[in-house]
Amino acid sequence: MKASGHRVIGPSGEVSGPTLLALLIVIPLALALGGCTHRSADNSGELRVTIKTDPKTLNPLMAEEDASDRIRYLTGGVLIRVNRKQQENQGELAENWNVDEGGRRITFNLRAGVKFSDGSDFSADDVVATVKAALDPSLHSPKGDPLRAGGKADVRALDRNRVVITFEHPIAGIERLFDEIAISPARMAGKADSSVVLGAFSVAEQRAGEYVLLKRNPYYWKKDSAGHQLPYLNAIRMYVLSNRDTELIRFRQGDIHLIDSLPPDLYEQLHSDDPGAARDLGPSIESEQLWFNEVAKAPIPAYKKAWFRSRNFRRAISSAINRADLARVAFRGHATPSVGLLSPANKFWFDKNLRPIAYDTNAALELLKQDGFSKIGDTLKDRGGNPVSFSLITNAGNKQRERMGSLIQQDLQQIGITVNFVPLDFPSIAERIMKTYDYDACMLGLTNVDLDPNGQVNVWMSSADLHQWNPQQKTPETEWEAQIDKYLRAQAATLNRPERKADFDKVQEIVADEDPMLYLVDKNALVAVSPKVKNADPVVLTPQTYWNAEYLSLEK
């Protein structure tokens, strides 16, 4: 998308002839239009938000990183939308749908009379072309990856308003995957640029390093309860701004209307000056974890591997960490001690039977004693006489993690363990945890982008690359990892939601019992909302403040 410098005034503001008469007509007209433009700039209905980087792509099928994905969300019309508030699927371009043949087939009944933002008609052919493009292995669409897990697929239009997709293998929770597939015109499928869309806004202008401007889609199909055409806003300007301090300054100046995922320190600053604008939405689905290196071939001493592979050792460390202090001190109270691998913010899938992990140094020492550890003076030693000491790496520059590292360092000192806390640059961390395995313990955060457990298969299957403590196992190295694999497969093989829930509850319970990853805190969703924005109803899921962008408007 190229920049267009004439859009503000509009075609009628351009001087087409040199004659005095024309000037006499055009100048007052231009002034009048300019006046209108200025008035509408005051009440322009242009919402201003930020993205941290330039979008890498405007092709909705290729969106992967945060900026591209936010633009996809605002511009893309989808068949099914996961409602960010209720966390339930709801029909969008598909009025209804039906999943049958054991989860191998999904049939969509499409909404009639829908048009793209250029005025062209939407039909089943557009859906077929888009889904085929997403499934095309040569495109490498990250949005198509989960669909390709169903094997060979047959995508066909039954008529103008009905599409059926049949997969080789069943895909559990298949409906939610269509929340990510933005339907493009058939002629642009696979190479769309978000300028011709079915969503509430389309990309009108992009200036690298400055902003992306989204304009209202005049043909958007949705209307409000009073029958008014949506969206209310004329435009959304997404400034490219990576510095969070600057973002807050501009918010205070009224230059930016909404901020997602505020860091706790900035939230506190805003809250002290303008309590109405700062909102703590409670636990989000983002958590912070710590894990030990259990890789057999890791270049660390054998006695350390034995510690890290011991369930008692991991549970003892877990008990000796004061999670309440992590939440209170490191996150200024804007986090909640984790209970398990899912946050309670994941309403349906969170296992409510899990109990909070108690902070108890005596219990920790008791567990360690069972493994032959003993505390001599201020130092804990294993049965071989080795003092218990390990390094803990995290990414440098993340204030909350750096604080957590210092707190954990002091917590574990209480039971005689020395922690060498080493913040490193991220590429060094990735190198150590993914390639060389030259580390003892690592603390990072995982962002769950999907509420469904299938979104976590890439972490919990023993063969997975992101099975961080011991990745890419050919066969499960422990009995409990084999159990997790079994339950993950079982939940993926059934369409029955309660059955899937029961299977994933088992996974959560095994993880809580074995502690391969020590879940520390669930971060609260902290946002800033300008009082000028009407109908704002922030939620914990991304995009937190403008998930309902079509209903947002600005106070005049």
Partner 1 sequence: MSRARWIAVGLLIALFVLVLFAGAFAPAPYAKQFRNDTDHRPSEQFPLGTDELGRDRLSRLLYGMRISLLLAPAAALISTALAALIGGAGAYMGGAWDRATGMFIDLFLSLPWLFLLLTLRALLPLDIPAVTSVVVTFALLGILGWAASARIVAASVRSIRTSEFLLQARAAGCKPSRLLLRHVLPNVKPILLAQFWISVPLFILTEANLGMLGLGVTEPLPSWGNLLRELENYTALRHSPWLWVPLLSLVMVVSLFQFALGAEERA
Kind of pairing between the strands at 533-534 and 201-207: unpaired
Specify the residue, 118 or 425, whose C-beta has the smaller distance to partner 1. 425
Degrees (nearest 5) of the Cα angle 363, 369, 370?
95
Q: By rule CB under 8 A, what string of x and - marks binding of each residue 102-141 to partner 1?
A: ----------------------------------------
Q: By rule CB under 8 A, what string of x and - marks binding of each residue 276-315 to partner 1?
A: ----------------------------------------
Rounded to a whole number of angstroms, the minimum distance from the CB of residue 437 to partner 1 is 12
Specify the residue, 129 or 270, whose C-beta has the smaller distance to partner 1. 270
Bridge partners, 517 (sequence order): 291
Rounded to a whole number of angstroms, the minimum distance from the CB of residue 10 to partner 1 is 41
| Binding residues for partner 1 restricted to 365-394, rule: CB under 8 A | 389-391, 393
What distance in Å separates the CA atoms of residue 62 and residue 535, rounded to the nearest whole number?
31
Residues in binding contact with partner 1, number by CB under 8 A: 30
Specify the residue, 166 or 391, whose C-beta has the smaller distance to partner 1. 391
Helices (H), 394-496: 399-413, 426-431, 457-460, 479-492
Rounded to a whole number of angstroms, the minimum distance from the CB of residue 337 to partner 1 is 15
CB 442 within 8 A of CB 394: yes
User: Could you tell me which of 511, 61, 141 has the C-alpha nearest to residue 289?
Assistant: 511
Helix (H) or strand (E) holding 445: strand 441-447
Rounded to a whole number of angstroms, the minimum distance from the CB of residue 421 to partner 1 is 5
Rounded to a whole number of angstroms, the minimum distance from the CB of residue 408 to partner 1 is 10
Rounded to a whole number of angstroms, the minimum distance from the CB of residue 410 to partner 1 is 5
Which runs of E-coded beta strand occur in 152-210? 153-159, 162-167, 201-207
User: Could you tell me which of 516, 514, 417, 391 has the C-alpha nearest to residue 459?
Assistant: 516
Specify the residue, 249 or 449, whose C-beta has the smaller distance to partner 1. 249
What distance in Å separates the CA atoms of residue 305 and residue 382, rounded to the nearest whole number?
12
Specify the residue, 136 or 325, whose C-beta has the smaller distance to partner 1. 325
Specify the residue, 389 or 494, whose C-beta has the smaller distance to partner 1. 389
What distance in Å separates the CA atoms of residue 457 and residue 493, rounded to the nearest whole number?
13
Specify the residue, 235 or 329, whose C-beta has the smaller distance to partner 1. 329
Place of tokens 């030259």: 438
Strand ranges of the sheet holding 105-110, from the earlier edge strand across to the other edge: 94-100, 105-110, 162-167, 153-159
Rounded to a whole number of angstroms, the minimum distance from the CB of residue 23 to partner 1 is 50
Helices (H), 338-420: 361-370, 399-413
| Binding residues for partner 1 restricted to 391-410, rule: CB under 8 A | 391, 393, 396-397, 402-403, 405-407, 409-410
Specify the residue, 126 or 440, whose C-beta has the smaller distance to partner 1. 440
What distance in Å separates the CA atoms of residue 323 and residue 424, rounded to the nearest whole number?
23
Specify the residue, 168 or 425, whose C-beta has the smaller distance to partner 1. 425
Rounded to a whole number of angstroms, the minimum distance from the CB of residue 406 to partner 1 is 5
Rounded to a whole number of angstroms, the minimum distance from the CB of residue 467 to partner 1 is 22
What distance in Å separates the CA atoms of residue 480 and residue 68, rounded to the nearest whole number?
38
Place of tokens 């401007």: 213
Query: Backbone phi, then psi, for 210, in 5-degree steps?
Result: -115, -70
By CB under 8 A, is residue 274 in contact with partner 1?
A: no
Residue type (1 letter), 151: G
Enumerate residues 6+ apart whose C-beta is below 8 A from 81. 89, 90, 91, 92, 179
Specify the residue, 434 or 482, whose C-beta has the smaller distance to partner 1. 434
Rounded to a whole number of angstroms, the minimum distance from the CB of residue 471 to partner 1 is 19
CB 122 within 8 A of CB 116: yes
Specify the residue, 65 or 431, whose C-beta has the smaller distance to partner 1. 431
What distance in Å separates the CA atoms of residue 336 and residue 524, rounded to the nearest whole number?
7
Bridge partners, 424 (sequence order): 395
Report CA-CA distances (Å) from 385 to 174, 388, 524. Answer: 54, 9, 42
Specify the residue, 428 or 553, whose C-beta has the smaller distance to partner 1. 428
What distance in Å separates the CA atoms of residue 193 and residue 203, rounded to the nearest whole number?
8
CB 90 within 8 A of CB 98: no
- Judged by CB under 8 A, the residue of 269, 386, 478, 494 near partner 1 is 269
Rounded to a whole number of angstroms, the minimum distance from the CB of residue 391 to partner 1 is 4
What distance in Å separates the CA atoms of residue 74 and residue 446, rounded to the nearest whole number?
24
Q: By rule CB under 8 A, what string of x and - marks binding of each residue 313-352 to partner 1?
A: ------------x--xx-----------------------
| Binding residues for partner 1 restricted to 416-445, rule: CB under 8 A | 420-425, 428, 431, 438-440
By CB under 8 A, is residue 265 in contact with partner 1?
A: yes
Rounded to a whole number of angstroms, the minimum distance from the CB of residue 218 to partner 1 is 42
Specify the residue, 344 or 445, whose C-beta has the smaller distance to partner 1. 445
By CB under 8 A, is residue 99 in contact with partner 1?
A: no
- Judged by CB under 8 A, the residue of 101, 118, 154, 245 near partner 1 is 245
Rounded to a whole number of angstroms, the minimum distance from the CB of residue 432 to partner 1 is 8
Greatest CA span in the chain, whole angstroms? 99
- Interface contacts to partner 1, rule CB under 8 A: 245, 265, 269, 325, 328-329, 389-391, 393, 396-397, 402-403, 405-407, 409-410, 420-425, 428, 431, 438-440
